[in-house]
Structure 1
Amino acid sequence: MIALADAAATEAFGRALAERVRPGDVVALSGPLGAGKTSIARGLLAALGLEGEAPSPSYAIVQPYAPPEVAFPVLHVDLYRIDDPDEAEELGLDDGRADLLLLVEWPERLPDSVWADALVLTLTIETDGSRALTARVPAAWKDRWPL
C-alpha cells in the first residue's frame, strides 16, 4: 500500500509512474469518484510532456495524445459511462495497443479478464482525506515495480 497525503502527492505519483511506463503498457486506475484517478493521469501526462491540464475524458470517453504533444502515443480512456461491455468494442482499445500507452479509468466496467496484463492501481479515500493506493502488478511490470 502506498499512502498519498493529498492531491499534490497523487499527481506526483503519476509523474513518477511516467518514468516507468512504455508503449504497449496498460495502466488501469480504479477507485470511487474523487479518489484521484484523473490526478494520477494528469501527473503522468504532464511528465510525458503534455503542457496544460489534461481534461478528464469522462464525456469524450477516449482522449488521444500523440507526439510531439507527449513523448509517445497515449490513449486516456474513461469507461464510467460504459454500461455494457459490448460498447467498449466500438472504442478500438486494442487498435495499435502495442504502440501506445493505454491509460484507463473505471476498468471495472469491463470484465477483469480484459486487464490480465494491466498494472491495476486501486485508490481508496481514507478517513483523514488521504488516499491509499494498492497495485496488482503483472509479470511485465515485475522489474519496474515498486516505483
Structure 2
Amino acid sequence: MDKFLPNPEATDAFAESLARTQQSPALIWLKGDLGAGKSAFSRAYLRTLGVTGAIKSPTYTLVELYALPDGRQAAHLDLYRLAGPDDVEFLGLPDRASLHIALIEWPEQGAIALGAPDLQIELSMQGEGRDARLTAMNPAAQAWLLRAESALAAL
C-alpha cells in the first residue's frame, strides 16, 4: 500500500490510524533516509497508544522503552550505529513477547536478530510531503492494513 502524506499533520494521522487499528503485538521496521519522518511517525504512534511525557529519539540511547497505560510495553529503537545483528543482544531489550509494539528505525543494521517484522514502512521525502510505502510481512499484518485502510484513505 502506498500513501502520500502532504504535511506533518498527515504523517501524525497516518501513525494514529495504524496505532488505533493494531490488535496484536507487532514489530514495525521503519526505513528511510535521514529526515524522512521515521521518528515523527514513532512519536505520533506512541502518543496514540497513550504514552505521555517526553518521547525521546533513540538516536543516542539506541533504545527507549515506554510503559503503556494498559500495562503493556512499547519499544522505539534506532539501530543506525550498530555494526550488525550480533550487537542487538547487548541492547538489553525485554523479550519480544512482552512488547505490544517495537518501532525499529534503521532495521538493516541488525533488526533481523529480533525476528521478522510484521510491517515494513518505507518513508521518503517528496517535495513538501513524504511518500509512505507499507508492506505487510505476514497474514496478521495484511489484516491490520485492511482494518486501517478506510482511515488511511481519508488522509
Q: TM-score, normalised by structure 1?
A: 0.86
Gaps of 5+ in 2: 149-155
**Aligned equivalent of 1:63:** 64
Write the distance in 2 (CA, Å) between the matches of 1:91 and 1:32.
23
Aligned to 1:58, what secondary structure does the other structure show?
A: coil
> Residue 28 of structure 1 corresponds to which residue in structure 2?
29
1:141: Cα distance to partner? 1.1
Is the aligned partner of 1:144 residue 2:144? yes
- 1:58-117: CA deviations, max 9, x gaps? 11101001133x762101111111122211121244x42122111111111127686534
**Corresponding position of 1:7:** 8
TM-score, normalised by the number of residues in structure 2: 0.82
Alignment of 1:1-147 (within 5 A): 1-68=2-69, 72-93=72-93, 95-100=94-99, 101-110=101-110, 116-126=116-126, 128-138=127-137, 139-146=139-146, 147=148
Identical aligned residues as a percent: 35
> Structure 2: how far apart are the matches of 1:115 and 1:124?
25
Aligned residues: 144
Structure 1: runs of 5 or more not aligned:
none
Does structure 2 retain, via aligned residues, the 8 Å contact 1:57–1:76? yes
Query: CA RMSD for the aligned pairs?
Result: 2.1
